[in-house]
Amino acid sequence: MLSIFILAGLIWWLGRYLGFGRQLRLSLLALLYLAMIAIQLTLPEGTPLRENTGGSVAPWLMLAGAVALIVAYRHLLRRLRQRAQPDEDAATDAPAQPGRFSETELSRYARHIVLRELGGPGQKKLRQAKVLVIGAGGLGAPALQYLAAAGVGTIGVIDDDVVENANLQRQVIHRDQDIGIPKVFSAQAAMEAQNPFITVRPYHRRLTEDIARDLFADYDLILDGCDNFETRYLANRTAVALGKPLISGALSQWEGQISLFQPGQSGPCYQCIFPEAPAPGLAPSCSEAGVVGPLPGVVGSMMALEAIKAISGAGQTLRGEMLIYDGLYAESRKISLSARSDCPVCGTAADTDTPPEVPPASQSTPPSTASA
């Protein structure tokens, strides 16, 4: 068979040297292949010509199958590369048909769509999802950026703060020219500039008891990246009352933590793990204790990733677990979390009609890390 492969090589390369077109050379190779098949099928066994060309039709059929697989694989790769390449001629603001992605969106989300765990159905779930992010600071900044880039259809962001110079060391969604602008509007401008196919709802105010329930009711998932325990407990109570999944992140100095709380599905709520707010000084703010700049990006990106998994159903979320990341020593660990039957929010004795007040500070309470 070696002589046949040498002959095939001569046909291909000599034909190219003589100026034969690709189609003509492929046709000549196909004729050579058919001749080999005919020899194996027509000549009796033991014939020298048949023996010198393989002795059986099986090797030639296997060769044809291998070539067919290679051609199919290359065709698939070509299609995926074309899908992943940006379409410079497509208008980024071209509207898609109802329920369908535009060509520009398909190109934008191609690397999601080729993921087996996401695919087209997962990307469609992201576009239909509504996510509320509490805080547009250290944790909210990367979470908002990646949720917008991932194509989450509606993103709400609530924060009553304005951009300050000291924020820019870690809150990467804001720029120097945004100093003095409310964070929610700065974040909105950045997200809409990054992805014009999403809807951003900014709420320039503090999350309070009188608006929390109505606000949460309009969203599928809540991300809590706030910087105080009063708001954390309020977000937890409201999310539990409405059955909304709550992704909570926190950090301090070099260490961050993240978990997904949804007692209605399984596991504890936030107050099961932190029954009482820590005493003053036990959980200092980032301005007091400091925080390394990239750490909020790491933890905030993890929050966005957990949101994508929770929305699409891909993989396993951190429901009932807490991931703790130590940036100083490049270590991470997970711990299991258990619900408390005496929890005033999700326990058996919880009164959903009269939610509890914010727990008082206590010296015996283990401190939670504070948001950036």
Neighbours of 153 (CB within 10 A): 17
What is the number of domains present in the chain? 3
Residues 301 and 177 in one domain: yes
Neighbours of 45 (CB within 10 A): 9
Q: What's the rounded Cα separation, in Å, for the pair 207 and 134?
A: 8
Q: Within a domain: residue 342?
A: no
Residues 66 and 187 in one domain: no
Q: Within a domain: residue 355?
A: no
**310 vs 182, 223, 235, CA distance in Å?**
29, 12, 18
Q: What's the rounded Cα separation, in Å, for the pair 38 and 47?
A: 13
Q: Within a domain: residue 23?
A: yes
- pLDDT per residue over 314-338, tens digit each? 999 999 999 999 999 999 999 999 9
Domain range for 224 is 129-336
Indicate the SS3 state at residue 53. Answer: coil
Specify the pLDDT at position 14: 78
The answer to whether 202 touches 187, Cβ cutoff 8 Å, is yes
**305 vs 67, 98, 121, 134, 356, CA distance in Å?**
40, 27, 17, 16, 31
Q: Within a domain: residue 223?
A: yes
Residues 146 and 212 in one domain: yes
Average pLDDT, the chain: 84
Question: What does the block give as tokens for 226?
Answer: 């706030």
Residues 314 and 171 in one domain: yes
Residues 266 and 323 in one domain: yes
Specify the pLDDT at position 351: 53
The answer to whether 29 touches 14, Cβ cutoff 8 Å, is no
Residue bearing the bigger pLDDT, 90 or 3:
3
DSSP state at residue 274: -
Residues 112 and 246 in one domain: no
- pLDDT per residue over 241-298, tens digit each? 999 999 999 998 999 999 999 887 778 999 999 888 876 666 666 666 788 999 999 9
Indicate the SS3 state at residue 265. Answer: coil
Indicate the SS3 state at residue 335. Answer: strand
Residues 266 and 203 in one domain: yes
Of 10-14, 91-95, 247-251, the one with minimum mean pLDDT is 91-95
Q: What's the rounded Cα separation, in Å, for the pair 140 and 226?
A: 8
Specify the pLDDT at position 64: 82
Neighbours of 79 (CB within 10 A): 10
Tell me the range of 55-64, 78-87, 173-182, 354-363 where mean pLDDT is highest: 173-182
Specify the pLDDT at position 57: 77
- 84 pLDDT band, cuts 50/70/90, is low
Percent of the chain past pLDDT 70, that is, above it, reads 85
The yes-or-no verdict on residue 93 having pLDDT over 60 is: no
Residues 256 and 222 in one domain: yes
Specify the pLDDT at position 90: 43
CATH code, domain with 280: 3.40.50.720
Q: Within a domain: residue 352?
A: no
The yes-or-no verdict on residue 212 having pLDDT over 90 is: yes
The DSSP bridge pattern shows strands 255-261 and 130-134 to be unpaired
The yes-or-no verdict on residue 348 having pLDDT over 80 is: no
